[in-house]
Structure 1
Amino acid sequence: MSKVIITCAVTGSVHTPSMSPYLPITPDEIVADAVAAAEAGAAMIHLHARDPKTGKPTPSPEIFGQFLSRIKQQTDAIINITTGGALGMSMEDRLAAPLHYRPEVVSMNMGSFNFNISHAGSKVTEWKYDWEQPYLEATKNIIVSNTFTQIENAISLLNEHDTRFEYEVYDISHLHTLAYFADKGLIKPPFFIQGIFGILGALAADPQHVMYLKATADRLFGKDCLFSAIGAGRHQLPIITLSAILGGSVRVGLEDSLYSGPKTLATKSADQVSKIRTIVETLGLEIASPTEAREMLQSKGADKVNF
């Protein structure tokens, strides 16, 4: 079994400020959370940006620029920029920061799907900002668009900068889409496949789904497959622990879950990193350092990014 890469997604675009006072919003908060996560053992930091005044997800390269170089200066972790952006963003918006900053790794959704988070604010009694509730409610009528043309164009543009991909897979069919692009020669191994479980409209957080997705990925890509998993919300620890047991890697962070335990809000993403690190090492497995993760992913190195 190879070493376990811990990815940490510190803010995302799913949760809103009213759901937790600990959700990183400002560049300073994102930097602090990312650095703490790296110090706790995360080899890769996955990043979204937010308007520092309202906490609303933004694709703005200018705002990304307010924290990317600072995180790079303070950690050796691989910096991974989203191309998923936020619900309702165009593909042009979603690619703006990745194309400008040319990171080592970006996320890449491998198909279109429903992403219903309208229920996510059910416990909120008072909203801090007027955008939050309509944003969540609108997800009942939004499709996350990742057509074959969109995926091919995005990958082609990012290939010019030798950027590697975290292939986000929300359905079994997405693995076959990935195999299609691999057969075309548009993407090259190793394939870092991030299975996502627990989103309403995509694969449920069922252990059998995790095992089947990984088995299918192994069948399609063999030794070129580097599997990892995300468990949304309360499913986080059970799903990612299973991934580690099956020989895969794991992702945590406040993008995926706001909690560190039952009814206990995580004060920072590092709380979750520390918890899964303890579990992984208790299982007799080793976590990958940033240097080892770079070797596993064959990424270009932090000295070749544009920030």
Structure 2
Amino acid sequence: MNSEVILTCAVTGAGDTVGKNPNVPVTPKQIADDCIAAAKAGASVAHIHVRDPATGGVSHDPAHFREVMDRVRDSGVDIVMNITAGGGGDWIPDPADPTRGGPGTDIQTPAERHHPVGELLPELCTLDCGSLNFGDMVYVNPADWLREHARLVQAAGVKPELECFDLGHVWFARQLQQEGLIDADPLYQLCLGIPWGAEADTETMLAMRNKLPASAQWAAFGIGRQQMPMVAQSVLLGGHARVGLEDNLYLRKGVLASNAQLVEHAASLIENLGARVMTPARTRDHLELRGAQTGGEA
């Protein structure tokens, strides 16, 4: 069991969720406000995507990321910032010609995906470690693209969070480390419950955890109704945890959640298991992030 837990809040994501829960933040101000609220509720890390303020759809605009980060910093509330670098991988077959991408397809090069990270230099960024059938679309991450992306993240001096949606992704993440493309002890995120990747259950989490390098730090999350069960299971198996409206819209059946409520619920669950949630300062020291101070706050 893990006695000190890094608790991440994934505040908005890029999915079609805005019309399903009015608490899903859309504008940079709303996203920043939810990062601040999550921090006050006890989150260690805020994981952020940004959206088109006019439509609520996907955006990759570095200006939106910058506004979110500036607003959070200017608030005086401390939280580790984790920018997504996993956008621009959506391929949806055209119904008229399945050899071509149809409406909703959104493909970016590694350099384009890295642009907000390279410009803003957050403490953490995601690095997705493989392709998969992601519901009805294909999430595209060719191996050579990932190597190029890993080099860009490494050169920027940002710590990557290695997102693994299936067991083969763990294998490839280990390969990146063996090739010298991941510095220091790696940080993994086991992403469970996405159709048709790794299932959100104990057996799958344990199998993925058992394939991690001995030096790895790791976290896990489950989507939908499996969010809180996977928080508990991850802590019991020695990992960290993630919650938030990117992954789950409900506090309980029929009750829509806010990000702060999900953080509060997860923090209470972690504490009831006999563990405690790390502060942002302690998280920086633990993960050896940019600007971490040895002997920081416990």
TM-score w.r.t. the length of structure 2 is 0.88
Q: Which runs of 5+ in 2 are unaligned?
A: 91-105, 294-298
Match of 1:50 in 2: 51
Deviation per residue, 1:54-98 (Å, 9 max, x gap): 101100111212211111232221100001125323134422211
Match of 2:113 in 1: 94
8 Å Cα contact 1:102/1:161 also seen in 2? yes
8 Å Cα contact 1:102/1:158 also seen in 2? no
Match of 1:244 in 2: 235
> Which structure has more strand as a fraction of its residues?
2
3-state SS, counterpart of residue 256 of structure 1: coil
1-structure distance, mates of 2:33, 2:79:
14
2-structure distance, mates of 1:260, 1:96:
34
Q: Which runs of 5+ in 1 are unaligned?
A: 117-139
8 Å Cα contact 2:16/2:57 also seen in 1? no
Match of 1:115 in 2: 134
How many pairs does the alignment contain? Answer: 274
8 Å Cα contact 1:169/1:195 also seen in 2? yes
2-structure distance, mates of 1:72, 1:176:
36
2-structure distance, mates of 1:147, 1:292:
35
Match of 1:254 in 2: 245
| Per-residue deviation, 1:2 | 4.9
Partner letter of residue 227 of structure 2? Q
| Per-residue deviation, 1:18 | 1.2
Deviation per residue, 1:32-53 (Å, 9 max, x gap): 1110001111111001011111
Report runs of 4+ in structure 1 exceeding 3 Å deviation. Answer: none
Structure 1 residues 90-169: aligned runs within 5 Å:
90-91=108-109, 92-116=111-135, 140=136, 142-169=137-164
Identity percentage of aligned residues: 32
Match of 1:228 in 2: 219
> Which structure has more helix as a fraction of its residues?
1
Match of 2:40 in 1: 39
Match of 2:69 in 1: 68
Match of 1:286 in 2: 276
Deviation per residue, 1:210-266 (Å, 9 max, x gap): 11111221xxx11x1111111111111111210011111000110011111111110
